[in-house]
Amino acid sequence: MPKKTPGSPATTPADETLLRLPPTYGSPGQARAAVREQLTAWRAPAETIETAELLISELVTNAVCHAGNPPGRDIRMRFALKDALLRLKVSDACTDRPRQRTAGPAAETGRGLFLITALADDWGVEARPHGIGKTVWVELKCASAAATSTAQASATPTIPGADPCS
């Protein structure tokens, strides 16, 4: 299979989007924009889009700030909408599992997993194939089944920077 170059469309089912992101502070914003653009195209409800943006932002921020990806290792994001269930995944090169912290009232960090637990219908962590890193995933029930049928009828996503996750 030919290797995809950054910026090329992902070859995926119509209801799945893949994106490769650099481990930089701009990546959470890129992730939010990609989720917003694709979920809008899939006609997901506004509440689902807003919650998904917050969840993906937390997952990507954690990967940027805590994973310590070595040079050349990108963060990989995948999200899919199937049967009115949105699943968001973020993979990085770190094998350490996220852990809940207690944040003081003045702390600016330490609340990400609290938000994920409060907003997601389910979440978890999986080891990546071949032993390089982990994938943190969240699931969010979509308020409208119409979004699923729209997603399945749409064309393959062409979000800038999309690239298959391996």
Burial 35-44 (b: 16+ CB within 10 A, else e): bbebbebbeb
Query: 15, 33, 1: which is closest to 161 by C-alpha?
Result: 33
CATH 3.40.50.620 fits 16-98+109-153, yes or no: no
Q: What is the pLDDT of residues 76-117, one digit of tens each?
A: 999 999 889 999 999 998 888 887 777 777 767 777 888 899
CB distance 54 to 120 below 8 Å: no
Q: What is the pLDDT of residues 115-145, one digit of tens each?
A: 899 999 999 999 988 778 899 999 999 876 4
Query: So what's the pLDDT on residue 59?
Result: 95
Three-state DSSP class for residue 125: strand
Percent of the chain at pLDDT exceeding 90: 45
CA distance 145 to 126: 27
Give residue limits of the domains in the chain: 16-98+109-153
